[in-house]
Amino acid sequence: MLQDEIFILKRSLYEAEFEFRRLEASYQTLSLEFEELKAKNASYIGRISTTEKVTSELEDCKRSKIEFEEQILRLQWNLKTKEASCINNAQLKYEIAQMTKDNAELHRKKDFLQQENEEYKNKVKDLEERLKQKKDVKEDHYDAKDCSTSNTAIHDLNIFTGTG
């Protein structure tokens, strides 16, 4: 009986050692798996961090893109406004050139008309002087009857010159 008991105890000891070695091997395996999982976890955390960083940069790029597109639209609008202004300026310059040309033409016409007016005044003055001379000569040669004819001529001259 004692031997049976020793045998049972030895057998229990072997089973306990076997179970201990099995559990130790299982523990080693789990420890390795745990370390692998820790490494994977760290890798995933790194990837997540990188992904978050890239996502943040992407959002920043999207915001920058929108800002640049808005700036481009403003610049395009400014360019169109300036182009329209340049076209308007060109039209105004053309109109000014036309007005300057027309003004110069009007000045030439005015100068010509003033010169023509002076010539007519001189002709009228010459005609008045000649008429006065003829009148003086006729007064000397005609008698009182002819004088009335002379007065008619003076009257006609006054009407012609616009003084009577």
pLDDT digits over 131-163, tens only? Answer: 888 888 777 766 444 555 556 656 665 666 655
- Percent of the chain residues past pLDDT 70, beyond the cut: 85
Rounded to whole angstroms, the Cα distance separating 67 from 78 reads: 16
Contacts of 128 (CB under 8 A, 6+ apart): 157, 161
- For the chain, the domain total comes to 1
The predicted pLDDT at position 133 comes to 87
Range of the domain at 17: 2-161
Q: What mean pLDDT is reported for the chain?
A: 87
List the Cα angle 74/76/78 in 5-degree steps.
70
The predicted pLDDT at position 139 comes to 73
Rounded to whole angstroms, the Cα distance separating 62 from 108 reads: 68
The predicted pLDDT at position 144 comes to 46
